[in-house]
Amino acid sequence: MASQRGDTVSILVTPSRSGRVLQWTVSTWVINSVLAGLGGVCLLAILGGAAIGRSVVLGDRLREAELQVDSLRTQCERIELLERRVNEMAELDAKIKFLAGVDSYQEVETAGPMATADDGVGASPSAPRTAPHRGPISRRFGESADGGQPHPGIDIPGRVGAPIVAAGGGRVIESRLDPQLGNLVVIDHGEGLTTRYGHASELLVQVGDDVGEGTLIARLGNTGQSSAPHLHFEVLHNGQPVNPEAFIEEYRARTRAK
């Protein structure tokens, strides 16, 4: 039994056997404090339970997102592998057609034997206009290359050791091994024009050599990041890749004939 007087509360307890009455007097503010504390504990328990529930939900969503990322990464790797295989098959198909004479075309007539780098001393710069290697084009300018990047040049398959000639007169500004293009020759033709010849098996010119149009500068190969023997040929104007087929009449004539 409890009785309240003023700001205190008396609690009376009468045991059934002894008959002795026990009495406690407690201030009302103590009781209110205890009740408030119990209410706060209950509120914290409710909020904590809600926070734990949200954490569990967020954890599940995070695991789902990680699984989706892993799935997308696997799909991208499969797409890249498929693209490389398609490109390899295209190069192989073009090479087979070329060797079988199905997709061959007539070589440009040259006056006398093929020139060498020594013959190009004092040669005047000229815009690229001669095909650097005789063969079909297996990958054209702007087509998707590995990784989905536009192809900055054209690829011409052939046999290892086949001649690569300068597309125009100029000066050799690079003759080196490149991590991507393998053995590489770069020629400056003046007027902001340069040409690049990649994947060669052998380099026959050095930096500073003056070469004339049609000069033998390298031999075709499969160096660098290459899946089959071919020449990677680029034309750049002020450092920006442009379509080599727009400069080489032999390529333009062959395109019109199709």
Rounded Cα–Cα distance for residues 89 and 91 (Å): 5
Rounded Cα–Cα distance for residues 160 and 235 (Å): 23
Rounded Cα–Cα distance for residues 99 and 40 (Å): 88
pLDDT of residue 107: 36
**Assigned token pair, 1:** 């039994």
197 or 34, which is more confident? 197
How does DSSP classify residue 144?
B
pLDDT of residue 87: 56
DSSP string, 204-231: ---TT-EE-TTBEEEE-B--SS-SSSEE
Report which residue type is found at 159: R
Where are the chain's structural domains? 2-61, 115-257
Q: What is the pLDDT of residues 184-240, one digit of tens each?
A: 999 999 999 999 999 999 999 999 999 999 999 999 999 999 989 999 999 999 999
Give the other-Cβ count within 10 Å of 186's Cβ: 21
Q: For the domain with range 115-257, which CATH number is right: 3.40.50.150, 2.60.220.30, 3.40.50.1460, 2.70.70.10?
A: 2.70.70.10
DSSP, collapsed to helix, strand or coil, labels residue 200 as strand
Q: What is the pLDDT of residues 91-126, one digit of tens each?
A: 555 555 544 544 433 333 333 345 555 555 456 788
Rounded Cα–Cα distance for residues 10 and 134 (Å): 113
pLDDT of residue 111: 33
**Contact of 7 with 29, CB cutoff 8 Å:** yes
